[in-house]
């Protein structure tokens, strides 16, 4: 597997692109980076890399490791934010009809000023819900 194939597989598996960077760095994300002829997987936070959790001279080996690692992450996708609990519940019904398993993580008024009602799905369920988001 190469980087192009890895990116395609990550998308197919429903891995959240907010959680990773392939071939470069992102903030607060797992990164697959090539440096000095070696591939490394690390977590980058606020521009600083953690110690690598994997290294290899093989692109294919590094891509396989990265795919497996990212598929084991929660890969949560925010699919709807609403002004009322009723709106969020109605959307959850649509998500279930689409064959996905929604879950909630609302933001209380004490944090944002007004409450926000948020609906999420995990992993491959994002593919089932995308048509509802347009």
Per-residue pLDDT of the chain (134 residues; tens, 9 = 90+): 999 999 999 999 999 999 999 999 999 999 999 999 999 999 999 889 999 999 999 999 999 999 999 999 999 999 999 999 999 999 999 999 999 999 999 998 877 688 999 999 999 999 999 999 87
Count the Cβ atoms, other than its own, within 10 Å of residue 68: 10
59 in Cβ contact with 3 (< 8 Å): yes
pTM for the full predicted model: 0.87
CB count, 10 Å around CB of 62?
Answer: 25
Say whether 23 sits in a helix, a strand or coil.
coil
The token pair that represents 128 in the structure block: 């089932």
The domain segmentation of the chain, as residue ranges, is 3-71, 76-133
- Kindly report the average pLDDT of the chain as a whole number: 95
């Amino acid at each position: 597997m190469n980087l192009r194939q890895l990116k395609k597989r990550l998308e197919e598996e429903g891995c959240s692109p907010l959680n990773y960077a392939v071939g470069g760095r992102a903030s607060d994300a797992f990164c697959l980076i090539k440096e000095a002829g070696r591939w490394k997987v690390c977590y980058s936070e606020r521009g600083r890399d953690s110690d690598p959790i994997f290294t290899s001279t093989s692109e294919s080996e590094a891509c396989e490791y990265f795919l497996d690692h990212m598929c084991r992450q929660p890969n949560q996708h925010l699919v709807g934010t609403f002004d009322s609990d009723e709106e969020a519940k109605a959307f959850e019904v649509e998500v279930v009809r689409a064959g996905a398993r929604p879950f909630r993580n609302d933001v209380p008024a004490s944090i944002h000023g007004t409450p926000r009602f948020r609906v999420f799905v995990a992993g491959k369920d994002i593919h089932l819900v995308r048509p509802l988001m347009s």
